[in-house]
Amino acid sequence: MCRLAWARDPRVRARTQASVAITADGEQWTILNAAPDLKSQLDRTAALHPRGALRSSPVKAVVLTGGEVDQIAGLLTLRERQEFALHGTAETLGLIDANPIFGVLAPGLVSRIAVRPGAPFSLPGGIEAEMFAVPGKPPLYVEGDAPEIGGETGLSVGIEVRAGKRRLAFVPGAAAIPAALHARLSRADIVLFDGTLFTDDEMIRKETGTKTGRRMGHVPIDGADGSLEHLAGLPGRRIYIHINNTNPVLVDGSPERRRVEAAGWEIAEDGMEIVL
């Protein structure tokens, strides 16, 4: 897929890593996960450009689903002495507190707010949110030799956001889909769900890695226990996000892409705008 993208093959569009910007009033924005590519994503999104006052930004909050590098590295882009609130579980914020590089987020400007899964909290502009447990694993840089895979801890959560009667569920990583997670996704108008790998052994077969998807904390799309089967029939709009560059659903017209689209799923791409 990378070779096709570098060759400008029209079937493949280059994508940055998964961050989502949300707003209910068009003025105050919240970022869900601060991906390493956040700087370029901000540059290409006019609604997120600075406005008016010195050091101003419409980004008023960031919410983290975990402490992996692809969820937190973009925080360093937001170090330019701008005020915003950083929401995460106590475990995730503990990882950030333990890394001195994140001290560049001035404590007087960036408030760190620990959120307990299951407890509703407010975001700027009239959005209500709630974190919920998702089977996962610790971040790679702290997982050790025998990490717990599939555990439901504060190191791996999803986010439900609500404005009025409309709900969006954001789950960029899930090692499994238990009944409680399925029930929550069934209540959402839009589901943004982990589409990292199409098959569990994809990276091993393609010689790009040595771990299965589940070992990395990601349920595959395909297979008897995959997300395509588990989440069949969800009533809302369904979009795969957080897609690895080995995943053939990135190729327009591929058999795998046709399968997920026939099942009612969309494939996320940069600049995608969703209106609830």
CATH of the domain at 59: 3.60.15.10
Q: Classify residue 45: in a domain, yes or no.
A: yes
* AA letter at 257: R
Q: Classify residue 131: in a domain, yes or no.
A: yes
User: Cα(245)–Cα(59) distance, rounded to whole angstroms?
Assistant: 28
pLDDT at 51: 81
Q: Which two tokens stand for residue 270?
A: 């940069």
Among residues 158, 141, 157, the alpha carbon closest in space to that of 73 is found at: 141
**In this structure, are strands 157-163 and 127-133 parallel, antiparallel, or unpaired?**
antiparallel
**pTM for the full predicted model:** 0.94
pLDDT digits (tens, 9 = 90+) for 71-125: 999 999 998 788 999 999 999 999 999 999 999 998 889 999 999 999 999 999 9
Q: Classify residue 9: in a domain, yes or no.
A: yes
pLDDT at 229: 94
By 3-state DSSP, what share of the chain in percent is helix, strand and coil, each rounded to 5?
25, 20, 55
Q: Classify residue 126: in a domain, yes or no.
A: yes
User: Cα(217)–Cα(101) distance, rounded to whole angstroms?
Assistant: 26
For tokens 């588990």, name the residue.
Answer: 230
Domain count, the chain: 1
- CA angle in degrees (0–180, nearest 5) for 239-154-168: 25
Q: Classify residue 242: in a domain, yes or no.
A: yes
Q: Which domain holds residue 213?
A: 2-267
Among residues 67, 63, 118, the alpha carbon closest in space to that of 91 is found at: 67
pLDDT at 150: 86
Instruction: Spell 116-144 as b/e; 16+ CB within 10 A means b.
Output: ebeeeeebbbebebbbbbbbbbbbeeeee
Q: Classify residue 262: in a domain, yes or no.
A: yes
Q: Classify residue 108: in a domain, yes or no.
A: yes
pLDDT at 248: 96
**pLDDT-flagged residues of the chain (< 70):** 53-55
Q: Classify residue 122: in a domain, yes or no.
A: yes
